[in-house]
Structure 1
């Protein structure tokens, strides 16, 4: 019983931390930004994105409040006609430049190399760089709002996290954990103020950088071999003396990351090992999450069967506190909570399985993404 109450207190503290982050420290870019008074380059890396790029590109070309906007697109060895779709959508728009990428040299992974090619080919006059993935659709004011927030935060790197679009059962189980994990476990205020590179987070789907700070940090060349190039870029910025910030980008952008369970499974498997580092650390984190968020409902059921109502009540309280953390996260980031949050213990189990699979495939050197090895 003492152990159960200790777990209850820990879950309560973590959910309280989620509330503090969401209500006090999470940045929320304005819906009505002023016109941006600096040239901005939007950089779009593409590899086999023919089915997605049209919506993304149309949204980029519809941006308002950025008179100096330029869109630079890199076709990174696509075999599905991605470049043809780009040409059809962009037409003769002078703001768009389409580049043909070269294969990554030894020591480089595909995504960092594509981003580096874009950054080095962008208009030298651009003082802000905006990296966007093909699965992201921006609101008309998104670029202006994000650049405005970058300057207001006096940051080198701003990560406005998009609203993740969920449609399948797998989406609803796994995808909300992205925002929940950093809102629950990452002290946002301390992350902004601390110079420690280890205290960093970022999402590469939509990333805004001061160009001078990006260059000083070494750009994507500094994270050439990193599967989590977005987080590692944030750390490189801190090592160079820059500041980073996270923001709720749910009113600025939507992102449909994966089309089906197989894509989601493989997408998470390719990178979860890098999130935790050493396998022992990964095992410890997964064990802790299972203990905190999956054990309480199991204890509740067992206690009810055994006729121990006090223990059952404590277990139920632990379960509901975990659910409350998911509800707070969803409300803060534009996600859905009903009835998805009720399955939070199952979500944690699936995350544990995906993490185990990630380490297993990495050990066997079988991790690939878009036809390229990632480890």
Structure 2
């Protein structure tokens, strides 16, 4: 029995290690574009007084591109509007949002839809207000699209700035999920929507193809555009891609534990936390990243396969931490991070099944 558990753990730990090892060489760091491409950069902002000035100035500091920057102030009640008004640059336009939403829309998707209506360039970059673009980020994003004219949408995970314990425990698992369980080569060989994924913090899209799939209107109720927007493009027949954005942008997604916990729960039921998917994810993640360590707490159950499973799990996390400049503490505490992630997914699922609404940025969404 103990050998069976060890072999099971080893298989479940080796699976994501093998997928990630194959994925990492395929995850390209984009090169700068040829020529001087024109881009529309679109930022939705709701109560972003702590972020918006730095976000806007980082976009405007980009070199080698023509920039149209449009920010939607989505009914902010803080100083967001005043900060935007104080930035004097003809490339910046600000849309005043009303704050109220049409029925059936989530806040971010409605804001992005309105921003896209004002965009005039074929390449549109959707970027969150807490993201800081590097000075060559826009040129390199355009270069990624130039290199593959068939792509309708591309996305990358910015370098995640993690300060609190919850941040460095949980946020590095974004890369584990994207690269350990989703073969990138399927982006080119299989275009089914279920294989599509991205990061909602940073997207670049072709405007003509975005319009062809119905834009954000096609995902109007979603709170997880990192999954639903790439899948909308795939449903429309257009390929999507994933790029390495580690040196293109930085982001501190959540400023404190309550916001982190709420943020991870708001879109959980559009990803892992469904009645059919979560038991599978629990088996994969618990079996491959927690069970090996539990087995090796005792000399009686720490068989050779179990020890090899521990090594495989830590090797994967070390590999990802090195590539994406993640906090080393997240590697050492990896099983705890996985347990915490699974706990958040299960609590989100039970809350949704009980009909509890989700609250985010002052808005309430029914389950």
Asked if TM exceeds 0.5, the reply is yes
CA distance in 2, matches of 1:149, 1:213: 16
Alpha-carbon shift at residue 322 of structure 1 (Å): 0.6
Alpha-carbon shift at residue 312 of structure 1 (Å): 4.0
Equivalent residue for 1:267? 263
Listed one character per residue, the Cα deviations across residues 152-208 of structure 1 (whole Å, up to 9, x for unaligned) are: 122110102211111111111000000111110001011233221111001111100
Equivalent residue for 1:321? 312
Give the structure-1-normalised TM-score: 0.92
* Aligned residue runs from structure 1 range 92-241, under 5 A: 93-102=89-98, 103-123=100-120, 126-154=121-149, 155-241=151-237
User: SS of the residue aligned with 1:316?
Assistant: helix
- Which of 205, 227, 239 in structure 2 is aligned with 1:243? 239
Listed one character per residue, the Cα deviations across residues 32-91 of structure 1 (whole Å, up to 9, x for unaligned) are: 544433x2100000000001111111101101111x310001000100111111122x22
CA distance in 2, matches of 1:151, 1:235: 21
Alpha-carbon shift at residue 250 of structure 1 (Å): 0.6
Contact 1:44 1:134 in 2 (8 A): yes
Alpha-carbon shift at residue 148 of structure 1 (Å): 1.1
CA distance in 2, matches of 1:13, 1:232: 25
Equivalent residue for 2:51? 52
User: SS of the residue aligned with 1:48?
Assistant: coil
Structure 2 gap ranges (5+):
none
CA distance in 1, matches of 2:117, 2:70: 11
1:369 aligns to 2:360 (yes or no): yes
Contact 2:128 2:201 in 1 (8 A): yes
- Judged with a 3 Å threshold, the aligned counterparts in structure 2 of structure 1 residues 182 and 351 are, in CA distance, closer, same or farther, namely same
Contact 2:176 2:317 in 1 (8 A): yes
CA distance in 1, matches of 2:36, 2:333: 43
Equivalent residue for 1:36? 36
CA distance in 1, matches of 2:148, 2:210: 16
- Which of 273, 279, 285 in structure 1 is aligned with 2:275? 279
CA distance in 2, matches of 1:370, 1:245: 29
CA distance in 1, matches of 2:59, 2:283: 42
- Judged with a 3 Å threshold, the aligned counterparts in structure 2 of structure 1 residues 297 and 205 are, in CA distance, closer, same or farther, namely same
User: SS of the residue aligned with 1:77?
Assistant: coil
Alpha-carbon shift at residue 13 of structure 1 (Å): 3.0
Q: Mean alpha-carbon deviation: is it higher for 174-183 or for 225-234?
A: 225-234
User: SS of the residue aligned with 1:250?
Assistant: coil
Moved over 4 A (4+): none
CA distance in 1, matches of 2:342, 2:48: 29
CA distance in 2, matches of 1:229, 1:6: 34
Equivalent residue for 1:351? 341
CA distance in 2, matches of 1:110, 1:245: 25
Alpha-carbon shift at residue 217 of structure 1 (Å): 1.0
- Which of 317, 321, 325 in structure 2 is aligned with 1:334? 325
Listed one character per residue, the Cα deviations across residues 218-244 of structure 1 (whole Å, up to 9, x for unaligned) are: 100110011212321111111112110
Alpha-carbon shift at residue 323 of structure 1 (Å): 1.1
CA distance in 2, matches of 1:187, 1:101: 39
